Amino acid sequence: MPMLKKTTLALATTLAGLTLAAQTQANEVEVLHWWTSGGEARAANVLKELMEAEGYGWKDFAVAGGGGETAMTVLKSRAMSGNPPSAAQIKGPEIQEWGELGLLGSLNDVAEAEGWDALLPDVVADVMQYDGEYVAVPVNVHRVNWLWANPEVLDDAGVEMPTTLDELFEAGDAIREAGYIPLAHGGQAWQDATIFESVVIGSQGGEFYQRALVDLDPEALGGEQMVDALEEFKRLRELMDDGMSGRDWNIATGMVIDGEAAMQLMGDWAKGEFTARGLTAGEDYLCAPAPGTEDVFAFNIDSLAMFRVSDEDEQEAQQALARLVLEPTFQETFNLAKGSIPARPDLDMSEFDSCAQQSLSDFQRTAEEGGLVPSMAHGMAVRADIQGAIFDVVTNYFNDEDMQAEEAAERLVNAAEAASF
């Protein structure tokens, strides 16, 4: 081949490469999320790789901070300045709030083409729609009310996995005597709220939880049952260590993994950490419903909402993202890493571990029998302003030795009322 031709060919190839790169750039989605722990990042990477395999670009917009409060603050400022990302992890009633602002794009075309109505359980599909249109796609279903444990530490202390709050406190004493921290915890408002929610359910039952922290009934919020629950909640401090203040949840999970602590009360994203360390459920670590909550499933559905954008390439990438998220490949691979169960119930679960299998069967059982409740602590139950006001009361009470449960209960009533005006 003459020299000139070779050069021309090389140039053409380079140009083609450049055009491809430029296209990929235009077909990019920027995705805001807060999946930054080891297990979470592994899971988020699944979506990035699937998008890239289809020729789309992925711009990661990860904002650290479990529970997503910081991510939501950053998202609001980006949206206010007229420059929202293509997609963001927005959940529960907050989807409605963003929908009301007119900022979300419709996913109805993908939803119809892929048959989402038939595919998704009602409880999941409802949350994803604003004004009758799909504006978000569900990624998974997390269960919040779990207890995780290191079996060697339990053995060493001569205790079994506790199934009631009384058993938890009893086991705690034995574990402390054996030289371990009974309960690993991170003192952050959302983590305090996460364990508070499990204690409300564990001590007073799912119906009371629903009345108090979902329906915000002032009699339930300020009544005797809430006072009892608040007292049990504060007692948990006896099982924790002095270093908990400000600790991230995954560091607390690490303490269980490393055998420094026996147990952790946390949603099943904690399982993502065990999995990332190569550990096997039922052998290297144990899971059980949070004490006293076996007939309740507090759900937390992660979802990605798409912002209304004008660029056609970006729109196309958003539609591809929405489609991929509900396809079996993503649902399986992502949820195996994340610790959750798939958002669509029709998948083969044989690859999933015993905790995930139990999660799925408890999800279905509680959906039929009652007991499937939205998680307040994870943005599924009440609007963000009310949730924030409840978090403040819960965390202040938990950290203030002098505040009595009666006062905290009164403040809960005020928080729910004040925030709704």
- Binding footprint of ligand GAL on the chain (CB under 6 A): 34-35, 40, 66-68, 142, 269, 300, 302, 378
Minimum CB distance to ligand GAL, residue 66 (Å): 3
| Nearest CA among 202, 271, 257 for reference residue 235 | 202
* Residue nearest ligand GAL, Cβ-based: 66
- Considering beta carbons, is residue 26 or 41 the nearer one to ligand GAL? 41
Minimum CB distance to ligand GAL, residue 219 (Å): 29
| Alpha carbons 177 and 196: distance in angstroms, whole number | 25
Start-to-end Cα distance in the chain: 78
- Considering beta carbons, is residue 28 or 302 the nearer one to ligand GAL? 302
| Nearest CA among 256, 265, 261 for reference residue 285 | 256
Minimum CB distance to ligand GAL, residue 363 (Å): 16
Minimum CB distance to ligand GAL, residue 332 (Å): 17
Q: Are 347 and 331 in contact (CB under 8 A)?
A: yes
| Alpha carbons 303 and 169: distance in angstroms, whole number | 36
| Alpha carbons 250 and 267: distance in angstroms, whole number | 11
For 27-136, where are the alpha helices, taking DSSP H only?
38-53, 69-80, 93-100, 108-114, 116-119, 122-127
- Tell me phi and psi for residue 198, to 5 degrees: -65, -35
Q: Which one-letter amino acid corresponds to residue 110?
A: V
Minimum CB distance to ligand GAL, residue 231 (Å): 27
| Alpha carbons 284 and 259: distance in angstroms, whole number | 11
How many other CB atoms are found less than 10 A from the CB of residue 409? 23
- Considering beta carbons, is residue 30 or 302 the nearer one to ligand GAL? 302
- Considering beta carbons, is residue 139 or 317 the nearer one to ligand GAL? 139
- Considering beta carbons, is residue 300 or 331 the nearer one to ligand GAL? 300
Q: Which helix (H) or strand (E) holds 88?
A: strand 87-89
Looking up tokens 């489609």 gives 323
- Considering beta carbons, is residue 175 or 336 the nearer one to ligand GAL? 336
Minimum CB distance to ligand GAL, residue 341 (Å): 12
Minimum CB distance to ligand GAL, residue 96 (Å): 17
- Considering beta carbons, is residue 272 or 371 the nearer one to ligand GAL? 272
